[in-house]
Amino acid sequence: MTTTTEKLNELKARLRDVADLNSVGAVLHWDQATYMPPGGAVARGRQMAVVGRIAQELFSDLATGRLLDELRSYEESLPYDSDDASLIRVARRDYEKAVKIPPDFLSAFYEHSATSYQVWTEARPANDFARVRPLLEKTLDMSRRMADFFPGYDHIADPLIDFADYGMKAADVRKVFAELREALVPLVRTITSQEPADDSCLKKHFPEQQQLAFGRKVIERFGYDFSRGRQDKTHHPFETKFSTGDVRITTRIKEDDLGYGFFSTTHESGHALYEQGVNPSFEGTPLNEGTSSGVHESQSRTWENLVSRSRPFWEHFYPQLQAAFPEQLASVPPEAFYRAVNKVQKSLIRTEADEVTYNLHVMIRFELELQMLEGRLEVRDLPEAWHAAYEADLGIVAPSDVDGCMQDVHWFGGHIGGAFQGYTLGNVMSAQFFDAALAAHPEIPSETGRGEFGALHSWLKENIYRHGRKYTASELLNRVTGGGLDIAPYIRYLRGKFGELYSL
């Protein structure tokens, strides 16, 4: 007779092996996106596929299911939020999903994604949509098949959205997006009908090394722990976790655009602060990461926008930035700089978009994903549909597909479906969480003005980070705010901040 403790230990040992294999896959991906020469692409695709397949086979093995069954009564004897009950609950949720996906399909999908990603990195600078088109068609086909492993959905995107933002469906997202659109469109119209902010002070020559040094200094102040992380350069910045002790970020730099690299760095540091803050005892379990794409994004946007684009932040850091770049910035007054980093404009690139127009970029992508999955939009018509949507929503059209449908990595390295809604859900939640943090610590803005982030970082660690995946996004929102997803705080924040900058 095996005891409950023995069974739990057996489950934990198995989950640790799965987590370690997934980390091996993450290292391979990090290397692919940072230092790997292009010649490594084909073999790397195969290597990532085999590691992914072994992890999947080990996790979805019948033995995992048997242990989860045998531990059900133990789980039910514990409080919902105890570590063991949460571990078993979340592992079971993942297991029930994993067993529905045939291992052969999954490894084929990994391999396809790696090839598609590599081709995209070459085709994008060449503006060669024709080259990625057949790969994207295969991605769409595989995304549909992936959804069909989860029959009974209301919308074919639902299972794919659920992977990223557990518990959300296309209809829920559409509802939130419609409410937001109603508030945002007039705001964008009012602001962009005024004289645009002058951001020429950001477009001077800023040498890469000084930019990197300044970014490092700032995120270290936030609390990003470089003894448990590092920063490298890539095309499309991301954060990745190999273990509690190794949470890395990547960034990119343009020497003629100061904001490009800096806000990408603070953005990714927000993701990394979340991962570095997860309870270390969750290492090797499915609890050891952020709980959803939306909550993750709420944290990157907190540090990128609510903090790094705020007035108190620059009150402290602008003199230091001027000291780092005296030639470029000595004659630029602080107010002019603050307006420049908060310039609102109708633009083409999501990752560089300002806070007011950003969500319109996300809504365009989300709708295109749904249309492709529904079969209402063919991949070959995607470039035109993209341009038409930008024309309709933002009144501008990209001169090429580089800044059109080829600008984001998501569809070229993962599914079509579920890839984008998290960004906007994250913006909405960031304001909800930040309001709660401010209510608990009204001193946060004055601390920020001194370049100190202890109260904010500790509050986030205590209320969000340490829980990892123990709570779902809606449980977390409920614990923190006493309610559900609510756009009101976010709209209030935008109206307050941009109302002061522009006449609204």
Residue numbers of the site for Zn ion (CB under 5 A)?
A: 300
Q: Measured from the CB atom, is 300 or 357 closer to Zn ion?
A: 300
Contact 420, 468 (CB under 8 A): no
Instruction: Provide the token pair at 490.
Output: 């976010």
- For Zn ion, the closer of residues 60 and 300 by Cβ is 300
The arrangement of strands across the sheet holding 239-243 comes to 231-233, 246-251, 239-243
Question: Rounded distance, CA 242 to CA 244, Å?
Answer: 7
Tokens of 152: 């009974």
Q: Which amino acid, residue 377?
A: L
Least distance in angstroms from the C-beta of 293 to Zn ion: 9
Identify whether 268 is a catalytic site residue.
Answer: yes
Whole-angstrom distance, CA of residue 197 vs CA of residue 342? 8
Residues 6+ apart with CB under 8 A from 257: 202, 203, 206
Residue nearest to Zn ion (CB): 300
467: burial class by Cβ within 10 Å (0-12, 13-18, 19+)? buried
Q: Identify which of residues 300 and 305 has a Cβ nearer to Zn ion in the complex.
A: 300
Give the burial string for 198-216 (b: 16+ CB within 10 Å, else e). Answer: ebebbeeebeeeebbebbb
Q: Which of 239, 268, 297, 304 is catalytic?
A: 268
What is the DSSP pairing of strand 231-233 with strand 239-243?
unpaired
Q: What is the CB-side half-sphere exposure of residue 54 using CA atoms within 13 A?
A: 14
String of DSSP letters for 228-268: G--EEE-SS--EEEEETTEEEEEE--BTTBHHHHHHHHHHH
Q: Is residue 497 within 8 Å of 338, Cβ to Cβ?
A: no
**Known catalytic residues?**
268
